[in-house]
Structure 1
Amino acid sequence: MDKNIMDRAAGAIMGAWIGDALGVGPHWYYDLNELRQDYGGWVNDYTDPKPGRYHEGLKAGQLSQSGIILRLMVRSLVDSGSYDEADFCRRMDTELFPLLNGEPASGPGGYTSQSIRAAWRKRVEQKLPWGEIAGHADTTEAIERTLAIGVRYALTPNLLANAVSSNAVLTQFDDVVLSMTVAYSSVLAMLIQGNSLEPDISEKLMNLVKDGTLPFHAVTREGLKPPQPGDPDPPRAGRFASPDALLSPGNMAMAATDPDIKIEPAWKVSLVYGMSCAIYHMLPAAYYLSSRFKNDFESAVLHAINGGGQNQGRAILTGTLVGAQVGLSGIPARFLEKLEGGEELRGLAIKLAEQAQLKSD
């Protein structure tokens, strides 16, 4: 059993939960002056939400609903030994949906996201079956749970792509969102395997497209060179219309490592790529921070949080990718010790990491 892979896989899951809990207090401040007024010049730890904010009633170190759904997903994977869609859906029906009422400011974690509210209404009120309840949300909500599938299938990216897309489409049916969701977990798998988030990450991912492992359409030759007369159309056709979601991570890593490109302080990446919830704002910032601070978990997640806006999602995505690079052993102890239920979560992360060693389902 490869202890390094286990360490990186467990680090990814714990990094996600830490990022989620860090966002509970200062979540969704689009006025950065208000954020600084409420939390000082630099948020550096778990904090209580202020009265009237999104997670009012929670305490520092607790999980939001995103973290709770991720825990549900991890438990499903661990108990089933693999991705079992029926088991996941059953748990959503019995463990989460009975606690919701369709309103934003309700349910465990103090706030219910757009795609989960839509799924609840169609599933509970309209009695529609799973498979007919997906909505239009263009957010990272599916990534925030399917990242656990990315960990489970880190050594089998073809199975990863199928399982991640299958789960994501339960709640979000936009093809661009699905392609970016699969791309994120594909990047995560590469990091768990031992790669770093460097500019060449996209070339490595494109090689998996060329050999048919990842289901993306590609019209270029090796090394992203243009097609030549007589080449088939297309050289590689996949489910997703474009490989651009796989090219973005390399572009963001290039920006993070280019000495002529300076985003200072790094939290201002939120202003460069966008503070709001859409997946096309969240992923570039997370990739940038995860490349720039690939060996510094604390700096990565804290710059994600201090950028305001949808900082919780940004911190979940960043914490996962940097956790996969530094490993569980590289996460500062204080983040693990102050996380409510941390020992249980750590145990689940390690069990899932053990399953990540399995190369076949």
Structure 2
Amino acid sequence: MTDNRIKAAVIGAFVADALSLGVHWVYNTGVIDKKLGRVEQYYDPLTSYHKGKKAGDFTHYGDQMLVLLESVSGGGFDAHRFAEMWRRFFADYGGYFDQATKTTLANMDAGNGLTKSASDSDDLAGASRMAAVIPVYHDNLEQLVSAARAQTRITHSDDRVLLSADFFARSVFAVLGGQPPLAAMQKTLDTHFSDSSIASLISTGLESRDRGTRETIAEFGQMCSVEAGLPGAVHLISRYANDFKTAMVENVMAGGDSSARGMMAGMVLGAAHGMEAIPEPWQTGMTAGQRINTRLSHL
């Protein structure tokens, strides 16, 4: 395991979100083709959901992952600290508030407690922030799994979202340990999730690796839910196990909630191939790039 690949797991997730911004929640892929062509660079958002954002910025998913990264800079993951920073971040946030965020904030305001206010949302996005905890727990599987689940649980209480965080934590740990991405996911499924409620979703993603991405994602669903996003992320990792850039571009070209599934795929493929696999313009073009690198250097 190298620091290079640990860093790439984090940067890989961030660039996936930044690349998605331009077409995030554009479900008509014909619009993507017509307006931008093949998306291989950062663009201002086409939709009004991310009004005010500019090329190189993050969606609200990436913004939350940055809050998580800054929270672990204080000495490991602490659920209360992250929840407090997350709530404070949204107090004057000018970006999009999804339903999970609105519900969690309302529950916090109602006095449910910072760590006991999660929505019942089944969006994969709650788990997709998890790359930010890798730098502090890359050498301890159980702590990585615990932190991945706990950070998810601040905003998402749905069991399959929590299981998704668990699955990807175990998979990326195995990849950082030297296993190829496909083998890591297959072994993680066989050893820990074969009887779980997400087993069929993982299997469906793995079995789709020889199929085209746009049609596969359309069949799974382009939506935010675990039902659609989990097999979509597994498909991307499986089909492009040796090609980080193509995985990220094909993800965006498939439309819909490209950010959540892309963040998971970017994390695992970044861990597999290191910083060299991530295009330099994507690294330098992130608005928060220097801020992220500073945090990572401290960790």
Q: Same fold (TM over 0.5)?
A: yes
> Does 2:69 correspond to 1:74?
yes
Query: How many Å separate the matches in 2 of 1:177 and 1:142?
Result: 7
1:122-143: CA deviations, max 9, x gaps? 213x233123311111001221
28-37 or 8-17: bigger deviation: 28-37
* Partner Cα separation in structure 2 for residue 160 and residue 60 of structure 1: 32
What code does the residue aligned with 1:328 have? Answer: M
Match of residue 140, structure 2, among 156, 168, 182 = 156
Q: Give the one of 85, 88, 101 matched to 2:82.
A: 88
Cα deviation, 1:269-302, whole Å, max 9, x if unaligned, reads: 3113211111121121111111222222110100
**Equivalent position SS for 1:152:** helix
- CA gap of 1:144–1:201, structure 2 versus 1, over 3 A, is closer
Alpha-carbon spacing, 1:17–1:36, altered in 2? closer, same or farther (3 Å): same
Q: Which residue of 2 aligns with 1:19?
A: 16
Identity value in percent: 23
User: What are structure 1's unaligned runs of at least 5 residues?
Assistant: 100-106, 210-215, 219-241, 257-261, 353-361
Report the count of equivalent residues.
Answer: 299
Residue 351 of structure 1 and its aligned partner are, at CA, apart by: 4.1
Q: 2:274 aligns with which of 327, 341, 344?
A: 327
State the Cα distance separating 1:46 from its structure 2 match: 0.4
Tell me what 1:8 maps to.
5
Deviations 1:192-225 (A, max 9, x none): 2221112464335644x4xxxxxx6x7xxxxxxx
- Which residue of structure 2 aligns with residue 202 of structure 1? 186
CA deviation profile, 1:65-118 (whole Å, cap 9, x unmatched): 2111111111111222x1112221221233x1311xxxxxxx34x212221111
Counterpart residue identity of residue 187, structure 2: E
Question: Match for 1:170 among 125, 143, 154?
Answer: 154
Task: Give the Cα–Cα distance (whole angstroms) in 1 for the partners of residues 271 and 102 of structure 2.
Answer: 30
Which amino acid letter does the alignment assign opposite residue 162 of structure 1? S
- The answer to whether residue 164 in structure 2 is matched with residue 180 in structure 1 is yes
- C-alpha separation between the residues in 2 aligned to 1:27 and 1:5? 32
2:214 to 259, 267, 284: 267
Q: Does 1:46 align with 2:15?
A: no
Q: State the 1:303 CA deviation.
A: 0.3
Amino acid at match of 2:31: E
SS of equivalent residue, structure 1 residue 9 = helix
TM-score (norm 1): 0.76
Alpha-carbon offset, residue 61 of structure 1: 0.6
* Contact 1:153-1:189 at 8 Å conserved across structures: no
Query: Which of residues 15, 26, 29 in structure 2 aligns to 1:29?
Result: 26
* Structure with the bigger percentage of helix: 2
Asked if structure 2 preserves the Cα contact closer than 8 Å seen for 1:5 and 1:194, the reply is: no
Does structure 2 retain, via aligned residues, the 8 Å contact 1:25–1:60? yes
Q: 2:90 aligns with which of 94, 97, 104?
A: 97
Q: Larger radius of gyration, structure 1 or 2?
A: 1
Matches within 5 A, 1:235-250: 242-243=195-196, 245=198, 249=202
Distance 1:351 1:194 in 2: 25
- Distance change in 2, residues 1:180/1:321 (3 Å): same
Q: Distance in 2 between matches of 1:32 and 1:340?
A: 26
Deviations 1:11-34 (A, max 9, x none): 011011111111111111112222
SS state at 2:293 partner? helix
Structure 2: gaps of 5 or more residues: none
Q: For 2:245 and 2:231, locate their aligned partners in 1 and report how far apart those are by CA, in whole Å.
A: 19
Q: Is the 8 A contact 1:151 1:192 kept in 2?
A: no
Question: Is 2:205 the partner of 1:252?
Answer: yes
Q: 1:112 aligns with which of 97, 100, 106?
A: 97
Distance 1:281 1:248 in 2: 8
Question: RMSD of aligned C-alpha atoms?
Answer: 2.3
2:232–2:261 Cα contact (<8 Å) kept:
yes
The two structures have a TM-score, normalised by structure 2, of 0.90
Within 5 A, what are the aligned runs for 1:128-139?
128-139=112-123
1:199 touches 1:254 (CA, 8 Å); kept in 2? no
